A and B are shown apart, each in its own frame.
Chain A
Amino acid sequence: MSSERVFVSLKVDTLSIVPRLDGDILRVAMSGAVEMRDPGDALNPYWTHIDEEALRRNLKTVELDVTDLNFMNSSGILTLVRWITRCKSHSNGYRLVLLYDRNVTWQRASIPTLAKLAPNVVVSAEIDG
């Protein structure tokens, strides 16, 4: 197995997640919707794996792109809160960039708020999609 294949894609119901290593930046693109009853069942271990691999490879940045995600329920938001909480606990970890589309109401409301949980390690970046 090549080292890149450690970052595997995830497909659950209407949600799709595709990671791509780009130098020392890991770009993780989400699309579809997070609307499952218990998204944490799939997403918590997935984000944990991303976190551990990013640390192991000493990546500088992980970019989570939610611009193609048309909805995320509050249980899905909690999975990102858990990930951010892990990020915050690393003494010398990566920077987490949350990329969102300012024209999508839920993204414009939720993502900058999430970044406020850990302003030293998490930043939100908007696009005009």
Chain B
Amino acid sequence: MITERLSSDYVEMRFGPRWTYISCVRRFVASFFMIGLSDKERAEQISMAASELLENAVKYASEEEGYLKISIAKADNEVDVCVKNKAEPHHINTLRRELALIQAGQPEAVYLKKMEEAAMTEGQSRLGLIRILFEAGARLRLDVVDGEVSIHAIFKLEAA
């Protein structure tokens, strides 16, 4: 049940963690916010963030459950892209450490350092969050309640 007040620029989608949905959602989010914000750059940044957060959710979701929630809070001149999913405790701990690390430094320097580290190791890139922070200029916030992870990418909008 949706209990919060919804604006006309509110969209919420729920779907199973299937990779093939991600590009479809990314294109939809870009089109939606292109219309809602009349700002192509912001719309593309928001859709990139949605895509990266969804990729993480699909990779690390612990159950056959995961959904994307996007809300726009015009009162605060913000767009909040939120992806929520159940995750294993060790993945949650990794995410907490990751977030603390990338928020501790100067974004570009952290991004370059993480790129260099990622190139030296096998496996996942782990560049998604720092990319959102540095390339899209979003704030990141992590909430964990009963093993359910909500990760937010929050975009400040230009005042009207």
Residues of A bordering B, CB below 8 Å = 14, 33, 35, 37, 71, 73-75, 77-78, 81-82, 84-85, 104-106, 109-110, 113-114, 116-117
A113 touches B119 (CB 8 A): no
A105 touches B116 (CB 8 A): no
Q: Report the bound CA distance from A82 to B146 in whole Å.
A: 38
A-B contact pairs, 11 of them (CB 8 A): A14-B23, A33-B23, A35-B23, A73-B55, A73-B128, A74-B128, A78-B119, A81-B118, A85-B116, A105-B40, A105-B48
Q: Is the interface of A mostly helix, strand, loop or mixed?
A: helix
Q: Give the size category of B's interface with A.
A: 20 to 34
Set of chain A residues within 8 Å of B116, measured between Cβ atoms: 81, 85, 117
Q: Report the bound CA distance from A78 to B22 in whole Å.
A: 19
Set of chain B residues within 8 Å of A78, measured between Cβ atoms: 115, 118-119, 125, 127
* Total contacts A-B at CB 8 Å: 71
> Can you name the residue of chain B whose Cβ is closest to the Cβ of A84?
B119
B127 touches A77 (CB 8 A): yes
Interchain CB contact (< 8 A) of B52 among A14, A33, A37, A73: A73
B45 touches A77 (CB 8 A): no
> Can you name the residue of chain B whose Cβ is closest to the Cβ of A85?
B119
